[in-house]
A and B are shown apart, each in its own frame.
Chain A
Amino acid sequence: MQNTATPTVHITLDGKPLEVPAGISVAAAVLGHAHAEHTCKHPVDGSARAPYCLMGVCFECLMEINGEPNVQSCLVTVQEGMTVRRQLSGESA
């Protein structure tokens, strides 16, 4: 699927390296390329959740990006060297 002409960037997801196309959102990289089963444990009921809308509406894609928690990862573009962590502890920041 990946076009050879598409430039890529390197990020880390929970400490593991990942190469994804440049220009896509962090949520799309984690869900569509890394195929993470879920992206957070819900702070209220502790259930596993994953992005629903991918366009800034649902707030289910909150992740820690470059150390900043609760970022809407569907609205952030992947950058070379970016550090992404899923919020799996269920603690609200």
Chain B
Amino acid sequence: MDRNTDLIVIGAGPAGLSAACAARACGLEVTLIDEQAAPGGQLFRNIETPMAQAILDPKDRETGLALVNRFRSCGATYYPCATVWGLEPHKVSCTINGKAESFSASYIVIAPGGMERPVPFPGWTLPGVMGAGGADILLRSGGTLSAERGTPVVLAGNGPLLILLACHLLNAGVNIAAWLDTGTWGRRLQSGALMPAGILDAAYLGKGLGMACRILKNRVPIIRGVTGIRAEGTDHVEKVLYEAGGKTHEIATRTLLRHEGIIPRTHILNSLGARHAWDTVQRYWYPVTDEFGHTSVDSVYIAGDGTYVHGGDASLLKGTLAGIEIARRLGVISNDEAHYRCAPALRALRRTRIARGFLRYAFAPNPAIFDLPDDTLVCRCECVTAGDIRKAVAEGFLDVNEVKRVTRCGMGQCQGRMCGPALAELTAAAQAKSPAAVGTLQVRQPFRPVTLENYCDLNIPK
């Protein structure tokens, strides 16, 4: 099956849905492909179910439902439950319900969103240790973090989303035993200079402060300047150990949630060889694009947190801009019309970027979180340790791809998604360099596991 349309959107989060709606409003024929069963992405996951609505705050719920309803009625062809494993300009290969399918289009918008920065630490492979975002998904699925309600949970890390997730946990009646803060005060002071611009987005600032007050009111114990986090237990986490104030502390818990900020998901664009840049403060790679999300690969656009992490409402704007710009490039709307349609979103996006500039510093990851003991598993799939990586660098393998080949770090089923950032940090630190100077993991297609049958269906001429 091969279908040709004007635009293929990959991803049904805020950016993908708004890109599809904006392009449809201009009269384009749009196909949207997503891996989840229902639209919403991560931010508005399961938004059409009461379980998820129960833990979201009313404004997020309203925005999310309005967007999903707008998408459902916009006339785009929608393929949920699809695994996209191959992409080239104008062509997408995926598996839907076990069948290989290919789609072609004049333009492609990728809206991969962000993911939690994976940060290894001793014991992070123990069951009971999860990303804070993963725990949030469990709550939205009507589940609980442990069989007995009220069992204490430990949060560890740094980032604006951790505040939101903590509020969701409180909404769900979870008892937060401790919040281990790994952020750095040097960066937070730096953010002070940019803070006044936050007033440009007073509603957002107010929301953040409101959430912080709720956490304080619930008397969540916050421990600052935490380093050396490790989880211990037999086949399940039983306790968390950490250093603070020059001493080692211990908390008994069955659940440890780690969060060190959100990074763009760059896997698909990396496999196309698109140009990326390194953010020295947030310590992640992001694709180089214009204001409309046009990547260095012609006809391929990116929207949402996949371009740079600005948050959900910025993602809506980025999606809208990409959808309109593609309609202009196809000649469906005139330059003047595109200019008119884009103006409000462009203005709002610029204001949001300025207003949130301080977040980049306030929640900068502390490079010390990658200062791991030699026996820490870095690559969860292939069981490669920090020591293995340092040894490879000492032997003269200086680029992440060289280290990958000799250690197998990044060669497992997750294809380096979970270990990539740490591999780069460790490889760079061992040479006293910036991670920007040791290369990026070469991502090869298919970028998701696919059966040989499905692969051959699309790649072997019949």
A interface residues (Cβ-Cβ under 8 A, vs B): 1-3, 5-6, 20-21, 23-25, 28-29, 31-33, 35, 37-39, 42, 44-45, 47-60, 62, 70, 74-75, 77
User: Which residues of B sit under 8 angstroms from A54, Cβ to Cβ?
Assistant: 130-131, 133-134, 137-138
Do the beta carbons of A21 and B131 come within 8 Å of each other? no
B218 at the A interface (CB under 8 A): no
Counted as pairs of residues, one from A and one from B, with CB atoms less than 8 Å apart, the total is 133
A23: B residues at CB distance < 8 A: 37-38, 46, 49
Q: What 7 A-B pairs have minimum CB-CB distances, sorted nearest first?
A: A32-B143, A50-B127, A28-B141, A24-B141, A32-B138, A54-B134, A77-B37
Taking A3-B51, A24-B141, A28-B138 as contacts, is the C-beta distance between A38 and B127 under 8 angstroms?
yes
Out of A2, A31, A75, name the residue touching B142 (CB < 8 Å): A2
- DSSP majority for the A interface? loop
B169 nearest CB across to chain A (Å): 13
Nearest CB on B from A24, distance (A):
4
Contact-residue bracket for chain B: 35 or more
Contact A29 to B141, CB < 8 A, known contacts A6-B50, A49-B125: yes
- B118 CB contacts on chain A under 8 angstroms: 53, 57-58
The SS class assigned to the B binding surface is loop
B402 contacts partner chain A, Cβ-Cβ < 8 Å: no
- Max chain A CB contacts within 10 Å: which of B37, B38, B81, B172? B37
Shortest CB-to-CB span from A84 to chain B, Å, is 15
Please give, as numbers and ranges, the residues of chain A lying within 8 Å of B270 by CB-CB distance: none
User: Which residues 130-172 of B have a CB within 8 angstroms of A?
Assistant: 130-131, 133-134, 137-139, 141-147, 172
Least CB distance from A79 to B in Å reads 10
Asked whether A57 and B418 contact (CB < 8 A) given A21-B51, A23-B37, the answer is yes
> CA–CA, A70 to B413, complex, Å?
10
Collect the chain A residues with CB atoms within 8 Å of residue B131's CB: 52-54
Closest to A4 in B: B50
Tell me the complex Cα distance, A31–B135, Å.
10
Q: Which residues in B have some Cβ–Cβ distance to A below 8 Å? A: 35-38, 42, 46, 49-51, 54, 81, 83, 115-116, 118, 124-131, 133-134, 137-139, 141-147, 172, 235-236, 265, 380-383, 412-414, 417-418, 449
Chain A residues lying within 8 Å of B172, measured Cβ to Cβ, are 1
With the chains together, A91 CA to B41 CA distance in Å? Answer: 33
Once bound together, how far apart are the Cα atoms of A29 and B137, in whole Å? 11
| Cα distance, A7 to B144, chains bound together (Å) | 18
Q: How far is the CA of A25 from the CA of B127 in the complex (A)?
A: 18
Complex-state Cα separation, A53 to B124, whole angstroms: 12
Distance between Cα atoms of A77 and B38 in the complex (Å): 10
A76 to nearest B CB, angstroms?
8
The answer to whether A51 and B141 touch across the interface, beta carbons within 8 angstroms, is: no
Q: Do B142 and A33 touch across chains, with their CB atoms under 8 A apart?
A: yes
Contact B54 A48 (CB under 8 A): no
Q: A37-B235, A53-B118, A55-B42 are in contact. List 6 more A-B contacts (CB 8 A).
A: A2-B51, A31-B143, A47-B235, A48-B126, A48-B127, A77-B37
